[in-house]
Structure formats: structure tokens, C-alpha cells
Amino acid sequence: MLNETSAVENYQAWLNDPNVDEKTKEELRGIADQPKEIEDRFYRDLEFGTGGLRGVMGAGTNRMNRYVIGKATQGFAAYLLKSSSSPSVVIAHDSRNNSDVFSLESACVLAGNGIKTYLFRSLRPTPQLSFAVRDLKADGGIVITASHNPPEYNGYKVYDAAGGQLVPADAEKVIASIREVTSFDQVKRLSREEAEARGLIVWLDEDADERFVDAVAAQSVNPELLRGGAGRDLAVVYTPLHGTGDMPVRRVLEKAGFANVHVVPEQERPDGMFPTVKSPNPEEHEAFTLAIALADKVGADLIIGTDPDADRMGAVVKNDEGRYVVLSGNQSGAIMVHYLLSNLKEQGRLPANGAVVKTIVTSEMGADIAASYGCEVFNTLTGFKYIGEKINEFEKTGSHRFLFGYEESYGYLTGTYARDKDAVVAALLISEAAAFYKSQGKTLYDVLLELYKQYGTYLEKLESRTLKGKDGVEKIAGIMSDWRSNPPAEAAGVKVTKVLDYELGLDGLPKENVLKYLLEDGSWFTLRPSGTEPKIKVYFAVRKDSLPAAEDAIARLVAEVMARVDALS
């Protein structure tokens, strides 16, 4: 929300507040002659988006810092205490700068409110936090991470008792509680020493790690095949991209029987500056440069990479020309859906009420594959919290059995041990699929081409435009308003047959500022402001009879739509 007072007044309030430490005030004095910087830092309070709080680190109401963290945690504490007299919370953090500081600050504020907190002694993946909330029967969770964002970012995600990120109705209650915290005087806090002495901070041991690893390893579809030698025969290169995935991914792969795993040495150690990449994002091809070099050296069949908090997994395979190519999230998802369902069917374990869940911006290829196996496909809004919500619904009603959930943005989950996307289980499943098909003389790229032949050549693309600051927020709003008010009659020469405005609350989904345009030939494109970054994202999808035809169609569609978006930005 925008602050009722001006940015300059908020800036001065921080400088004069006795609760704000001298180091922070010194940082603020350093921007005294930079009005645009003051405005950007103080024109609003950092808000919850699709992934909770996320922003650039620094002093200010629109920045990630211990004071913003403290107010958010005080609000979360008040929310929890309304429904339980003795709630407990699990906290985890990734490898980013200040993540450990923000994690401990959150725990100390919870302790100040009498709330027991379980803390990991060092960095852990986001999906492990989701698992631990369920495992420890806690009332909520917090993870300090900015996922795949650049080094200057950090974030704060809140989880419910089921281990899922808060859905809108619950998030609004937390936001309302946070808004009631109008001054830093209202933030209750104990020191670490006092919190530990009173048993309000409890440090988790290795048993918690083992339970998570065991839960992930239990999702293996063909454990006998892997232990029989297929796991050993597959050469895998893995990069944790300086993040949290190194320990759990390697342990799970080893436990499953993969004995030929090579870790990129330059990217093995946690480092919040992510020095070897422009962005620690497995969606970016550049992030795999060092991994591909190592794969060439060792003759790898598969390359996998995980983002800093290990909830996103990217895969690289050799194409039919022998070159390593990065699979899109949609392609990896389709391969895993096919591998999982075909093997469950072969083993007689495919349930009659099986369900696959995806988002509205995810390719329809995986949906078509799932439908061919008799599974029902459910669509959700963007954000894995909605997929987690569907899992909860299935377990409560018994209507369906969850088999697989995924997003185009490299987030996957099989199994119900967690309620968030998990790069660790995705690394296991894609490696297992590669080993299975290698035992049949095929590569994952061969399998992809077979799926194209059977279901059609699906091709997708994501374009985004970064528009920072207050002006950027206004420009993004203007773009959405223009497209909403003036929908195109056609795009790239193809008639637009339907406009889906999710702000109206379509198909029983929560209202969200998303526009999706369906074209006569089955293509579509979607405009969506990011909930975690100052970006507008535009998703494109086509389905054709051949790869050249699909590449041509999507290129023309992207060019025309983005020309209009760019003209408005």
C-alpha cells in the first residue's frame, strides 16, 4: 500500500526514530541529496505478492531490511495468536546475503511474542521448509529467500500449517495484521540468548535433514532399475548455482543409486553474490555455461541446475545434433508427466482418480499427455501456493489423488510430503527418466521429439520487461489497462476468439490482474504483472505440426504483441 505520508516524511521519520540503528541512519544520510532514491525507498511499504515480501535490500519502507522483517513478523505473530494460544513456527533461509540475519531476526520477534520457533543451523531449501512445517506439526513457516532474483534482492515468504504459501484469503489477514503495526515500538523482540534460554528458539539437528531426504527419495518410480545399474550408467552434471541444493540433491541422487554425479566446482559453495553468473536462475541459458563445459569434459547424459533456494530445477540435454540444449520448464514438465504416468500405468499403480495440476500460463502439452492417461487436469493461477491448495483439497475430499504439479517457471512436485515446488524431487525424477530411457537406447531429447510427434509440436516463450520504481508501477498498470480496454481483434494474422480477464474471477479462481487471449489456431498469449519483481511478463504458446512451423508462428506472435507492449512502456 502507498504510505499516507510522503516519501520525504517517511524518510525523515526513519532518521528521527530512536529504534533505528545508527548504521541504517548513516546509509540514509548518504542519499540525502538523491530525491529519486528517497522516493523509491519510501513511497510505499513493501507488499506481499505471489511470493510474500521481496525486494532490494537496503534502508527504507520499500526495501528488505530487519525493520521491515520485524514488522512483518510481528503481524504474522499476531495472526497466529488469534487461532492458537501456543503456536510454533519453522524458519529456513537460503544462501543470500543477510538471509541468516533476517532468519534470526524473525525468530527473535516470534520469541518476543511467546511463539516457539524451530530454526535450521544453516541454509536449507525452501521445499525442506515446507516439509518441516508438516513434519513438526507446526502452525506456520517462514523462509528467507528471493529465489532466483539478482544478488541485491532478498525476500520473506510465509507458510501455513499445511506447509503451503499463504493463499489470498489468509495472506490478506496477515497483511491486515502487519498494517496494524504502525511503529517499530510495537515490535516485540527477545535476544537470541534469552529466546534460547526460554526454549523459544530450538535448533534443528541432522534428523530433520534425513527425514526430508527420505521423503524425497521415496518418490522414485523405478528404484529397482536404478539400483540395478541404470543409475550408475547415467552421467550427470549438477550445479547448485551457489545455493542450497548441493547437500540435499546429492544425497537424494546417491540414495537413489546415481553414482556418476559431477558437481560444478566453481558453483558448489554457497555465495550470496553468485559470482559466476549474471543471474542464479536455471531458466537462463547463461547460468549453465560452466556446467556445459564440465559436461563436455565428462560426457554427461544430463545436466541439472537448481536456483538458490532449490525450488526450481532446470535440465540440459543433448539434441539430435549432439549439442547441449536447455529444456524449457514446459518441456521438462511434459517429459516428467509422460515418464511418471506411463510407468505408473505399466506397473498397475495409476489411480483411476489421478490428478495433474498446472497453472494457466503453463503449456497444454503436459495436460494433453495427462488426459491421454485418463488423469484429470486442473488449472490454477500462477504461484505454487495454488497447486498446494489443490493438494489439500484433494486430501480433504478424497475426490482425486495428486500425482504431479508444475509451472512453466521450472517448478515441479510429485508426492504429497510438501506443499511447494521442489527442485530436489525434480532433480531425482528427471534423472530417473533419463536413466530409464537411456536403458532403452534413448535420450530425453529423443523422448521429447516422440511426444511432439504424438501430441503436436508445442512451443512456448516468455518475454518480460523490467520497469522499476514508482514510474514503473504506473507504466505496468497503464499497459494492463490499455490491453484490457482495447483487446486486439487478431494477432499475427490469426483471429482472437476469446479474452479471459482473470480480474473478474474466472473458473472459480481468485481474482488476479491477468489477461489471456485465445487465438483461432489454438495459440494463446497472456499478460501478467509479476508479483515479486518490477516486471510485466508476457507468455506465448503455439501448437503446430512441425518445429519449424512452431518457431515461425511464435516468432511472429511475439514480435507483434511485444511491439505494442514496448510502445506503451
Name the residues annotated as catalytic: 147
SS (H, E, C) 350-361: CCCCEEEEEECC
* Contact between residue 539 and residue 557 where contact means Cβ atoms under 8 Å apart: no
The residues facing 144 across adjacent strands are 93, 156
How far is residue 167's CA from residue 160's CA, in Å, rounded to a whole number? 9
Distances (CA, A) of 166 to 111, 267, 494: 21, 32, 39
- 544 CB-near residues (< 8 Å, 6+ apart): 456, 457, 459, 550, 553
- Side chain identity at 159, as an amino acid letter? Y
Distance of CA 5 to the CA centre of its chain: 34
Q: What beta strand segments (E) does 109-253 contain?
A: 116-119, 140-144, 153-159, 201-203, 236-239
- 51 CB-near residues (< 8 Å, 6+ apart): 147, 155, 157, 165, 383, 531, 532
Nearest Cα residue to 355 out of 392, 405, 428, 415: 405
How far is residue 122's CA from residue 206's CA, in Å, rounded to a whole number? 11
In a 3-state reduction of DSSP, which class is residue 503?
helix
How far is residue 358's CA from residue 183's CA, in Å, rounded to a whole number? 41
How far is residue 112's CA from residue 114's CA, in Å, rounded to a whole number? 5
What single-letter DSSP state applies at residue 465? E
* Cell numbers describing residue 253: 541422487
* Cell numbers describing residue 313: 530445477
For residue 518, count other CB atoms closer than 10 A to its CB: 16
Q: How many residues does the chain have?
A: 569
Q: What beta strand segments (E) does 247-301 contain?
A: 261-263
In a 3-state reduction of DSSP, which class is residue 299?
coil
How far is residue 396's CA from residue 188's CA, in Å, rounded to a whole number? 36
* Contact between residue 94 and residue 309 where contact means Cβ atoms under 8 Å apart: yes
* Contact between residue 267 and residue 240 where contact means Cβ atoms under 8 Å apart: yes
* Cell numbers describing residue 454: 504424438
Nearest Cα residue to 109 out of 63, 57, 144, 60: 144
* Contact between residue 464 and residue 536 where contact means Cβ atoms under 8 Å apart: yes
- Pairing relationship of beta strands 515-519 and 524-529 according to DSSP bridges: antiparallel
- 225 CB-near residues (< 8 Å, 6+ apart): 231, 435, 436, 439
- Pairing relationship of beta strands 201-203 and 116-119 according to DSSP bridges: parallel
